[in-house]
Structure 1
Amino acid sequence: MYRFLLTRQWVILTIIAIALIPTMIWLGFWQLHRHDHRQALNKVIAASQAAEPVPVETLASVGGSVAHDDMYRRVTARGHFDTAHELVVRRRTNADDKVGYHVLTPFVLDDGKVLLVNRGWIPSPDSQTAFPQIPAPARGEVTVTARLMQDQTTAASGIKNVKGLPDRQIMLINSAQVGSLLRDTGDPSAKEVLGGYAELLSPAPAGGSPEPVPAPSGDTSWIGVEDVNLPYAVQWWLFAACVPVGWLILARRELRDRGPAAEDAAREAEPAAV
């Protein structure tokens, strides 16, 4: 009865079904992992925003990395901006999804260490090779408050770290890479670059430019991603359960359809009555 399962069509169908089941189960766990990761990150963001600002050197060190639980933590630093070694980060968007640059300015602390400060977004100039005109930061000795961030990597951001860019333009904000770049330019202070970087909160830029990087709580997509991942995980697991059920239904239907055909063939094969 079940010899049809050995036909080419059914062998291929069975192999596809067997491959789909573990794939869909894996996709379900992947969505669940994204859900758990988003929940954990939202808790870190909420805790960091509720905490009082602390001196940056209590959370960041030269050559070190920013701990996951310290992401988005407000930190303070006193020193001056080094605009002579300012960089721009390509292909960044603002709140209106316009593509431009992020302005990365070394901030030299009173003890000589350097904190990389993302001062915000500016629009792209007509030329993609010329260094853009950037509004100046506060001059002289100043105390800044900023949002502490981890170094950016291609694996975490999905942004390819393109080489051979125009002078003073980068793709990722990575303290080790930027420190090396600054040392190549002859900046003596770049020997003591703190790990990670910070997004400037205050003092506010004169005239509103560069546009400050928005706080994560203002991004409504955070809620949407968290709400969607868990239902997607359940959906994938339901799909995985439906595959063997669907295969069985098709097999029974095939068997049912082949029954009358087999009977007709048998009758045709019988010798005619004399």
Structure 2
Amino acid sequence: MYRFLLSRQWVTITLVALLLVPTMIWLGFWQMDRHDERAARNQLVTDALAADPVPVERLASPGHAVTRAERYRTVTATGRFETDDEVVVRRRTNADDEVGFHVLTPFVLADGAVLLVNRGWIPADGPSQTAFPDIPAPPRGEITIRGRLMPDETTEASGIKDLKGLPDRQIMLVNSELEAERLGARVLGGYVAQTAPEAEGGTPQQLANPGKENAALNYAYAVQWWLFAAAVPVGWVVLVRRENRERTGAAKTPDAEQAEPAAV
């Protein structure tokens, strides 16, 4: 009855089905791994934002690479802003996806070390972004700031190219090693996205809290792949039975010449 399964067409269909099932099962487990990774990252963000503020010197030092557990931790620092060495970071967007700059200002601590502070976003003065923008000045004198600790930006991690030949006082990446060379100073690893005190008039626009990834979507994709894997053998059986019925029916039906009565 099922000798047709040995035909080239059905051997091909069967082999494809046998390959699809384990592939879809693997894709389901891959999506579950993605779900677990995103859930773990979300938990790190939640824990970091909920942790009590600590002095930045407890987590950062010159040459130190900010770890995943330290990222987004709220830190405090006491010192003064040094606006003469202030730079802007090109091609950064705000919550409305408007392109502008991030303002990066050195913050000199009591021991002379420098903390890089991202004071927030400002719009570009023109479409070319070649002119240095007007930047509202930070508070003068010694102050205490608060912000989220962030790791150095690299091309590998961000995908942003570190372009050369930029206009004066403009950079592409916030990187403590590069800034230490430019400033000729001891610069703490990473940087701080300032959250307090708030800028007068809301400018620069301070960066929003980090968003969380949608881990539930990966869980749904995993279930979807496993349902597809279960549907493949079911579909194969349905096709085989339909093919068998059609072949059986064709075998039982006489051809047209046999069905017509002989002429008298």
TM-score interval, smaller chain: 0.7 to 0.9
Deviations 1:73-130 (A, max 9, x none): 1111122223233232333222223232222222222222222211111123312222
The aligned amino acid for 2:93 is T
Deviations 1:35-63 (A, max 9, x none): 22332233223322332211111111211
CA distance in 2, matches of 1:132, 1:5: 74
* 1:254-269 matches, cutoff 5 A: 254-261=243-250
Percent pairwise identity: 54
Which of structure 1's runs of 4+ aligned residues deviate more than 6 A? 265-269
CA distance in 2, matches of 1:90, 1:226: 31
TM-score after normalising by structure 1 = 0.79
Q: Which has the larger radius of gyration?
A: 2
Which one of the candidate residues 184, 188, 203 is aligned to 2:184? 188
CA distance in 1, matches of 2:135, 2:196: 17
> Size of the alignment, in residue pairs?
256
Q: State whether residues 137 and 205 of structure 1, in contact with CA within 8 Å, keep that contact through their aligned partners in structure 2.
A: yes
Change (3 A) 1:227 1:111: same
1:112 and 2:112 matched: yes
1:241 and 2:230 matched: yes
Tell me whether 195-204 or 242-251 shows the greater mean CA deviation. 242-251
* 1:85-124 matches, cutoff 5 A: 85-124=85-124
CA distance in 2, matches of 1:9, 1:175: 63
Secondary structure in 1 matching 2:69: helix
CA distance in 1, matches of 2:91, 2:189: 23
5+ residue gaps in structure 2? none
Secondary structure in 2 matching 1:69: coil
Q: State whether residues 38 and 226 of structure 1, in contact with CA within 8 Å, keep that contact through their aligned partners in structure 2.
A: yes
Deviations 1:150-179 (A, max 9, x none): 23344544x332523623433433333x33
Secondary structure in 1 matching 2:163: coil
Partner of 1:139: 140
Change (3 A) 1:262 1:154: farther
TM-score after normalising by structure 2 = 0.81
Q: Which has the higher helix share?
A: 1
The aligned amino acid for 2:150 is M
Q: State whether residues 155 and 162 of structure 2, in contact with CA within 8 Å, keep that contact through their aligned partners in structure 1.
A: no
CA distance in 1, matches of 2:9, 2:84: 71
1:227 and 2:216 matched: yes
Tell me whether 242-251 or 15-24 shows the greater mean CA deviation. 15-24
The aligned amino acid for 1:214 is A
Q: State whether residues 103 and 118 of structure 1, in contact with CA within 8 Å, keep that contact through their aligned partners in structure 2.
A: yes
